Amino acid sequence: MNPAAGDAANGTEAQAGIVPSLAELVALRGQVRRVQAPRRGRLGVHGPAPSNLRGRGMEYAESREYTIGDDVRRMDWRLTARSGRPHTKLFQAERERLTLLVADTAPALYFGTRARFKSVQAARAGAVAVWTALQAGDRIAALRAGEPAIPPATGMRGAMRVLDALARWYARPPADDGRLEVALEHAQRLLRPGARLLVLADAASAAAVPAPRWSALARHHEATLVLLQDALEIHPPRRPLAFRAGAARLQLALQRASVRGRWHATFAAPAEGLVASLPGLGWQVRTLSTEAEADAWLRPPVPVDVAPGSAAAVPSHDPDARPAQPAAKHELPTGGYDGAARGNGAGRP
């Protein structure tokens, strides 16, 4: 065996669950169920989304009185007979829908204790959305705060550009990361009525966005928020929990009710608030744990799962998930949770 190849393989294995790979995101195409192929209109414009434009598409829109120059093949003979005046049919032109992914790249996402980092799971969830959009014939675009958007494009070209961006954005916390609200403001300028919007975010980032912003984005679009979560955040152990902070070792007394209450308020409560409030503003809200399948957020909501010590409820992540297995131990520059996989999210356990 080539020693260099072996070292490369070991390095790739060591990064699994910490850094998303483009190959991993491409492989998720197999998890996306087949959807009906987009239709093609008479004028060569194709896509499953109806346009507001009235023209010679395939879907009937309305009838109006005949004017000189109208195609006699489009005559509405029934309405003409009833009204005594000639009428012609108008059809709704078809166009390609836009699917826009908004990626939160807050430092808190680069962390995980089960299976993979939240950042890796965000990239995987985004990849599922990309392949779903590709099958639907959508144009695909993506953006994050801090750099220009990946412009909309169709087909494999559009899909691969977005997948490459997701792998790059979620490899490590960007030095120029901006707030999620900034990214959503940018998204609002790019979107057109009828678009699909998917936001991948940490609950704390999403909770900081004002309600009017969420409401405005959902008004004319199909909007979904996927909240990335780690099991430790939602179900902390009822015992002292040790952490590393540089060279120091700290211990958090999670067996005490007051400490657990502050933990819940910091990590679980933001997600609970979003799950309770955003559907009333027109959003679909899904929670996705790091050990769940990447496409679990596409499934209908399941009965709620109440976090220990919490009076509120958050939707369960994956009804088919097996008991979580701890992630492999990794030595990272910024410390960790009892040696488990740990990112460099500021202020995280």
Q: Which residue has the higher pLDDT, 226 or 327?
A: 226
Mean pLDDT, rounded, for 259-287: 96
Nearest to 149 by CA among 129, 175, 122, 169: 169
Angle between helices 155-169 and 118-136 (to 10 degrees): 170
Q: Which has the minimum average pLDDT: 207-216, 242-251, 257-266, 267-276?
A: 242-251
Amino acid residing at 342:
R
CA 309 – CA 333 distance, rounded (Å) = 33
The mean pLDDT value of the chain amounts to: 79
The DSSP element (H or E) to which 140 belongs, if any, is strand 139-143
Q: How far apart are CA 297 and CA 125, in angstroms?
A: 8
Mean pLDDT on 328-340? 35
Nearest of 3, 95, 7 to residue 48 by alpha carbon: 95
* Measured distance CA(63)–CA(76) in Å, rounded: 7
Residue with structure tokens 């940490």?
A: 202
Best CA proximity match to 269, nearest among 300, 309, 218, 215: 309
Specify the 3-state DSSP secondary structure of 89.
Answer: strand
Both tokens assigned to 224: 């979904």
Q: Which two tokens stand for residue 145?
A: 């705060």
Higher pLDDT, 126 or 337: 126
pLDDT in tens, 27-76: 999 988 754 444 444 434 444 554 444 344 445 667 888 877 777 888 99
According to the model, what pLDDT value does residue 317 have? 40
CB-based contacts of 205, cutoff 8 Å, min separation 6: 104, 106, 108, 179, 180
Amino acid present at 267: F
Contacts of residue 244, Cβ cutoff 8 Å, sequence gap at least 6: 250, 335, 336, 342
pLDDT tens digits for 130-153? 999 999 899 999 999 989 999 999
Q: What is d(CA 80, CA 296) in angstroms, rounded to the nearest whole number?
A: 52
Give pLDDT, residue 46: 44
Mean pLDDT throughout 340-346? 43
Q: What is the Cα–Cα distance from 140 to 127, expressed in whole angstroms?
A: 11
- For the chain, where are the alpha helices, taking DSSP H only? 3-15, 22-27, 77-83, 118-136, 155-169, 180-190, 203-207, 211-218, 231-234, 257-267, 269-277
- The residue-averaged pLDDT of 264-280 equals 96
Phi, psi of 174 (to 5 degrees): -65, 140
Residue 120, pLDDT score: 97
Exposed / middle / buried, residue 73 (Cβ in 10 Å: 0-12, 13-18, 19+): exposed
- Calpha distance 314→302 (Å, rounded): 10
The Cα–Cα gap between 345 and 53 comes to: 47
Could you give all domains of the chain from N- to C-terminal order, each with its CATH number?
A: 49-95 (no CATH), 96-315 (3.40.50.410)
Could you tell me if 116 and 18 are in contact, meaning their C-beta atoms sit under 8 angstroms apart?
A: yes
Among 86-95, 209-218, 309-318, the minimum mean pLDDT is found in 309-318
